[in-house]
Amino acid sequence: MVKKTKRPVPEDVDCRYCVRYNQGKSCELLDCNILSERIESGNIGYEDLIENTFYYHPELTRRLQYLIKTFPGTMWADDLHERRFCYSTAQNEDQYISSAYYAGVYLLTSNDDLYNRSGKCFLKNRLYLQDFRVQGISPENYTLYTYTRMICSGNTKEHMTELFDGWILSQEVFGLIVNAALIAQYGADVLNISKTTTRMEENKDVGIPCGKKP
């Protein structure tokens, strides 16, 4: 995550000033070349990312709606989560790091037990999951480890419904997996998101459908 000296405001990155917008074209967030600036300015919220990432699925969408409704203004589990993540990635060279790497580190640093089991996995610019200690791990942490392996093998949100349908996930674990999928899709800049959604400021109905139609 790059720290900027001057914080942009929403008017600076309004889509109306984009060349594509002026040409009557539209683009998804993945195609936006100023995504980090839009996130930092508050132009993009948590719901906006989710709606542009996950396809509609009845049960999955219900849980995503609740996740949006209860978004606390940060994607970190707590302050220690952020510290562990920053410490584990401090020595890396950003130009050589994939979004999947950041997503994997996000999950493995989400609590003390996972972090301690992953000590030998954090190599420069990559994760070496063969050194992860599985013995005695809790079911929830094993789920997070499993999704980390999916991310590192190139699979992300496509397996979200498989995990949900096959396992009973707590809301906390479900939220961490959703956040990791967003990081894998858009990069570590999404960790700067603090707004629930830009649209919900205009529409207070939190029961609105979320997720793209297939």
Asked if residue 185 lies in contact with residue 193, where contact means CB atoms within 8 angstroms, the answer is no
173 three-state secondary structure: helix
**Helix-strand-coil percent breakdown of the chain, rounded to 5?**
55, 5, 40
**φ, ψ for residue 172, nearest 5 deg:** -65, -50
How confident is the prediction along the chain (214 residues), in pLDDT tens digits per residue?
444 445 555 544 555 555 455 555 555 555 555 466 566 656 788 998 888 888 777 888 888 999 999 999 999 999 999 999 999 988 776 667 888 999 999 999 999 999 999 988 998 778 999 999 999 999 999 999 999 998 888 765 555 666 565 557 888 999 999 999 999 988 888 998 888 876 534 433 444 445 554 4
Q: Which of 117, 85, 116, 121 is nearest to 103 (CA)?
A: 85
In the chain, domain spans: 45-205+210-214
The two structure tokens encoding residue 143: 């789920």
The two structure tokens encoding residue 148: 């980390």
Check residue 47 and give left, alpha or beta (phi > 0: left; psi -120 to 50: alpha): alpha
The two structure tokens encoding residue 4: 């900027």
The two structure tokens encoding residue 146: 């499993």
